[in-house]
Amino acid sequence: MFRHLSSSLLLAIMALLGVGLVQVYSSSFVLATESYGDGLFFFKRQLLFTLIAFVTLLFAAQIPLKWVEKWGWLVWVFGSLGVLATFVPGIGVRVGGAIRWLQLPFGLRFEPSEVLKLSFSILFASLLVRQENILAKIKPGYLALLIALPLLLLLKQPDFGSFAIIVVVGVALLFAFGLRWKYILTAWAIVLPAFYYLVMLKDYRRARVMAFLDPWSDPEQKGFQVIQSMLSFSNGGVTGVGLGQGQGKLFFLPEAHTDFTMAVLGEEGGFMGFFLVMSLYGFVVLRGFQIAVRCKNNFQKALALGISITFALSVFINVGVVMGLLPTKGLTLPFLSYGGSSLVVFCLMFGLLLNIERASAENHQFPFQKPSSGLKF
């Protein structure tokens, strides 16, 4: 099974999964001991999530891509129904003022917005290669509702970060596949003011922007997370204070094992540890773009490009937040943050990417649908 997959990309993903396990252990041990009496509470769960995610990756790397092309858009429907279910009393779970999770057995939770981030690329790729058939069967108004309604539900949860990633990925893919400049400029002319309005409409979002511009104006409340994160990076220096020796995670740095795990790595691994992990991320993103560029099949090209952009944006936003370069936003760091939803979905993404790379290397084009020359606008 492994001999048919890209060794370099697979090894980079496995390295990130390994670093993620170490990060969860180091960043959550004290919190798990204080909260659950078991310092390995989060680590054991993350280990289980990692095993499930890796099996998911191997499965996605073997599934026939013609099935994904034909039926993959149903994943968007599944994710949309999942987001809708978060608003059902008794099923949706509210944490920190947001209703983003579904309650599962054994105390586990699932975040359906992660599925939307993956499935949007599949949906776009399907529309790209089968737009004539789809538009002939589905009225444009219904199609717009299928895409817009889940995005509006994300804002209602609220999950502005996932909403922003999907919108940016959509605009980027439209640009990459030949949408005319006038439509691109028109889209940004609508999107940018809309983003500004959505940020300034909510007091907590506006407060995050103000804290980003001047975190020291409210160091004990709105600016606390960013200040503690920057202090952790500062304490790490070049070589770091050593694994498990960081002080920021000792209840100074909120969400140390999830959203701000990179700050813990920056303190304990220093600049060298940070640089090595970012190099792994950079390599994975670069390989994703290379796979997309080399694809001859338009469905595979669009899917590979969408996965790569989604991953790159997720890393960029999280790292930008913890370094004080972007306003605070609750997005996990792919592969390194604690949590099963993000881990499984990103492994599913890269399983599909490995699958696409193998198919491209074999120069195998599936005859299900003749590739189109691009979007017809």
Q: In what order do the strands lie in the sheet with 92-95?
A: 92-95, 98-103, 109-110
pLDDT of residue 235: 93
Query: How far is Cα 56 from Cα 87, in angstroms, rounded to an integer?
Result: 28
Segment of 3-7, 104-108, 280-284, 337-341 carrying the highest mean pLDDT: 280-284
Percent of the chain having pLDDT more than 70? 90
Least confident of 160-164, 261-265, 303-307: 160-164
pLDDT of residue 365: 46
Query: How far is Cα 313 from Cα 308, in angstroms, rounded to an integer?
Result: 9
Tokens read off for 296: 């001859």
Residues 6 or more apart whose CB falls under 8 angstroms from that of 268 comprise 26, 236, 240, 241, 242, 243, 244, 245, 246
Q: What is the helix (H) or strand (E) element at residue 264, kind and residue range?
A: helix 261-294
Q: Name which residue leads in pLDDT, 55 or 181.
A: 55
Q: Which residue bears the tokens 């070049």? A: 238
pLDDT digits (tens, 9 = 90+) for 115-158: 999 999 999 888 877 765 555 566 666 777 888 899 999 988 88
Q: What is the helix (H) or strand (E) element at residue 101, kind and residue range?
A: strand 98-103
Among 299, 326, 347, 319, residue whose Cα is nearest residue 129: 299
Q: Other CB atoms closer than 10 Å to residue 104's CB: what's the count?
A: 12
pLDDT digits (tens, 9 = 90+) for 84-120: 999 988 888 887 677 888 988 777 789 999 999 999 9
Helices (runs of H) and strands (runs of E) counted in the chain: 13, 3
- Cα separations (Å) of 105 from 91, 108, 109? 11, 6, 8
pLDDT digits (tens, 9 = 90+) for 320-372: 999 988 887 778 999 999 999 999 999 999 999 999 998 887 755 444 444 44
Tokens read off for 156: 């209602």
Query: How far is Cα 157 from Cα 82, in angstroms, rounded to an integer?
Result: 12
Q: What is the pTM of this model?
A: 0.89
pLDDT of residue 134: 58
Among 112, 21, 30, 12, residue whose Cα is nearest residue 336: 21
Q: What is the helix (H) or strand (E) element at residue 100, kind and residue range?
A: strand 98-103
SS3 category, 99: strand
Read off the pLDDT of each residue in 192-218 and give the average, rounded to a whole number.
76
pLDDT digits (tens, 9 = 90+) for 212-259: 778 887 777 778 888 899 999 999 999 999 998 888 888 788 778 988
Among 99, 189, 171, 143, residue whose Cα is nearest residue 91: 99
pLDDT of residue 210: 76
Name the pLDDT band for 373 (thresholds 50, 70, 90). very low
Per DSSP, what are the bridge partners of residue 110? 102
Domain extents for the chain?
A: 2-361
Q: Which residue bears the tokens 């013609």? A: 66
pLDDT of residue 147: 85
Residue type, 190: I
Does residue 3 have a pLDDT over 60? no
pLDDT digits (tens, 9 = 90+) for 155-195: 888 888 898 899 899 888 988 887 777 777 777 787 778 77
Q: Name which residue leads in pLDDT, 359 or 52.
A: 52
Asked whether 10 and 239 are in contact (CB, 8 A), the reply is no
pLDDT of residue 29: 92
pLDDT of residue 367: 43
Does residue 267 have a pLDDT over 80? yes
Asked whether 93 and 102 are in contact (CB, 8 A), the reply is yes
Least confident of 22-36, 42-56, 128-142, 257-271: 128-142
Percent of the chain having pLDDT more than 90? 49
Does residue 261 have a pLDDT over 50? yes
Query: How far is Cα 163 from Cα 179, in angstroms, rounded to an integer?
Result: 21
